[in-house]
Structure 1
Amino acid sequence: MTLSEEATERLADIVALQPTKNKELQKRWGMESGSEVHSYLESELKEYYFRDENSLIRATPEAAELVDVEPGIEGDEEGNPTVVRVPALQYGILSVIADHDEEPDSVVRVLHKLREEGFDPEVDDVRSGLRALANKGAVETVKKTVPTFRLAVPRGELEVEELSE
């Protein structure tokens, strides 16, 4: 199956962002809804993606070879992330969030840290970014009165690469 230029670019997004959700692709692709993303995936990229046990969108190995893009996450033999490739906000979150052995940060604390570093995100965007990073295994959620977050691995063991938008 030959893909259009748009489909190839979108497939590259899936490879780079995986594991991802409809909402993340919706924002990246400028679509109106998650159902529009789902329809596009099913009509244009059905052979090149799948949903994992957590319903997250992942590219097939063939897709990664086809678009020659590094996957969104690489890990060691134990499954711990060693390299993550993320959009700018998630890159910022990883630069300010508590390290793996520190007291975890709330969403609001991460928001304030980001603003101190010159970012100006909405709280919902920070919450979404933290969840996406948790899905990638780069941060862990620590349940307290409210969910809190910190790096899942030592900061020095995680290479973070910012994806171009």
Structure 2
Amino acid sequence: MTLSEEVRERLADLVELQPTKNSELQERWGLESGSEVHQYLENELGEYYYRDEDSYIRATAEANDLVDVEPGVEAEEGEDVPSVVRVPDLQRRVFEVLAGPDERSQSVVSVLHDLREAFDIDPSADEVRSALQALKRKGVVEVVYRTVPTFKLAAPREDIEVETAQKN
């Protein structure tokens, strides 16, 4: 099957962002809803993706071979924490300011304040929460439940290479 340029680009996004969810693809692709993403996946990429046991969207091995991008997560054999992750810019910045594995975990608001101070940016709390959850899915952030969920790195910062995923 020959893929159109748009389908190939979107397949590359899926490979690069995996594990991902509808809302991340919706934002990347500029679609109106998660339903549109689902419909696109089913109609155009049905044979190139699957949902894992946690319902996250992942690319098939064939999809990985069809596009010239690196998968969103690379882990060494037998390692729990990936050695390389490819993420959007906000997630990279969250990773840079988030408490390390031996430090006290941080709330979403605490991370938001650190982002404002370190990078002079002003994302919403929802955007920060979403970035933290995406990093958790990729295995580089863990949640510590206190009064509210808090977050910290799952491994020392120097053990994980974080690359910024390229937007189309």
TM range, smaller chain: over 0.9
Q: RMSD over aligned Cα, in angstroms? A: 0.8
Query: Which residue of structure 2 aligns with residue 147 of structure 1?
Result: 149
Cα offset for 1:164? 2.1
Query: Which residue of structure 1 aligns with residue 14 of structure 2?
Result: 14
Rounded Cα–Cα distance in structure 1 between residues aligned with 2:156 and 2:51: 29
Cα offset for 1:156? 1.1
Q: Does the residue aligned with 2:11 lie in a helix, a strand or coil?
A: helix
Query: Which residue of structure 2 aligns with residue 115 of structure 1?
Result: 116
TM-score (norm: length of structure 2): 0.96
Query: Which residue of structure 1 aligns with residue 140 of structure 2?
Result: 138
Query: Which residue of structure 2 aligns with residue 27 of structure 1?
Result: 27
Q: Is 2:58 the counterpart of 1:58?
A: yes
Conserved 8 A contact 1:81-1:153: no
Query: Which residue of structure 1 aligns with residue 98 of structure 2?
Result: 97
Deviations 1:48-80 (A, max 9, x none): 000000000000111111002100011122232
Rounded Cα–Cα distance in structure 1 between residues aligned with 2:80 and 2:8: 28
Q: Which runs of 5+ in 1 are unaligned?
A: none
Rounded Cα–Cα distance in structure 1 between residues aligned with 2:125 and 2:105: 17
Deviations 1:114-148 (A, max 9, x none): 01122221110000010011001010011111000
Query: Which residue of structure 2 aligns with residue 46 of structure 1?
Result: 46
Q: Does the residue aligned with 1:36 lie in a helix, a strand or coil?
A: helix
User: What code does the residue aligned with 1:73 have?
Assistant: V
Rounded Cα–Cα distance in structure 1 between residues aligned with 2:14 and 2:68: 12
Rounded Cα–Cα distance in structure 1 between residues aligned with 2:121 and 2:92: 11
- Structure 2 counterparts to residues 61-80 of structure 1, below 5 A: 61-77=61-77, 78-80=79-81
Conserved 8 A contact 1:75-1:81: yes
Q: Which runs of 5+ in 2 are unaligned?
A: none
TM-score (norm: length of structure 1): 0.98
